[in-house]
Amino acid sequence: MRCHALPDIPGRPKPTATEDFVRGIWKENPTFVQMLGMCPTMAITNTVKNAVAMGVLTLIVQLGSNVFVSIFRKRIPNEVRISTYILIIATFVQIVDIGAEAMMPDMHKALGAFIPLIVANCLLLGRQEAFAAVNTVGRSALDGIGMGLGFTLGLSTVGTVREILGSGSWFGIRVMPASFEPWAIMNMPPGGFLGFGLVLLALAWWKDRTARRTAVRSVLAAPAPRQPEEVSV
């Protein structure tokens, strides 16, 4: 598994700490740009609360495993690195699962089988291969937090669309008028695809609009084309 997002590009200046942190939130957002971790994006975004909880749990796993992989990156032989990374990820998922059961049993119950499934989120192994295995602990931690926040942002955006349309509420608070008939399908698995599709559509439209505006502005700002001068040879 290779992330198309490269940590560093030879010949370019080294990214700053802010860039390491912000990368996952916006430019390489796991959900909307890298399109990784689609299973929770489809499965538990029926409410914003579930989406945020899943995002935060994934953040903890991403941060923990990034830090551990980075600490031991020089000690882990290349030949067994995948097994070791997966073991580190699985351990953090187990820790998060046990911790969530003890500290927030109701949320643990609501997320059900999807907490153990964090282990199969390809975002995690992707970041370790592409980033934590070749970068310092500090940078890997920032990358982990950024990617985790970006994933939380992605899940809760889809969750917002699904919960408002599917239940007429946001974070459990009723936001739609009483006359609004909830779209039951948004609470069901197809709603995951529809909600995600709607968000992607909005993002694509926004990007396209921005690109057009920039293009129009650059044309307007450019000086009028000069008449070709006669040049005597």
Residue 131's contacts (CB-CB under 8 Å, 6 or more residues apart) are 3, 7, 66, 139, 140, 143
E-state strands within the chain = 169-170, 173-174
Of 112 and 213, the one with the shorter C-beta distance to other proteins is: 112
Residue 31's contacts (CB-CB under 8 Å, 6 or more residues apart) are 37, 41, 150, 151, 153, 154, 155, 157, 158
Question: Residues 116 to 175: which contact other proteins by CB under 8 A?
Answer: 129-130, 133-136, 139
> Considering the rule CB under 8 A, would residue 14 count as an interface residue with other proteins?
yes
Of 172 and 215, the one with the shorter C-beta distance to other proteins is: 172
| Separation of alpha carbons 15 and 139, rounded Å | 10
- Can you spell out the DSSP letters for 126-156? HHHHHTGGGS-HHHHHHHHHHHHHHHHHHHH
> Considering the rule CB under 8 A, would residue 10 count as an interface residue with other proteins?
yes
∠ Cα 132 62 120 (to 5°): 105
Residue from the set 1, 18, 105, 202 that interacts with other proteins by CB under 8 A: 105
Residue type, 39: C
Encoded tokens for 155: 């899940």
> Considering the rule CB under 8 A, would residue 178 count as an interface residue with other proteins?
no
Contact flags string 63-92 toward other proteins, x per CB under 8 A? -----------xxxxxxx--xx--xx-xx-
Chain Cα centroid distance, residue 221: 36
Contact flags string 107-126 toward other proteins, x per CB under 8 A? --xx-xx-------------
> Considering the rule CB under 8 A, would residue 9 count as an interface residue with other proteins?
yes
Nearest distance in Å: CB 144, other proteins: 16
Residue from the set 1, 17, 26, 101 that interacts with other proteins by CB under 8 A: 101
Q: For binding to other proteins (CB under 8 A), which residues are involved? A: 6-10, 14, 43-44, 46, 74-80, 83-84, 87-88, 90-91, 94-95, 98-99, 101-102, 105, 109-110, 112-113, 129-130, 133-136, 139, 187-189, 191
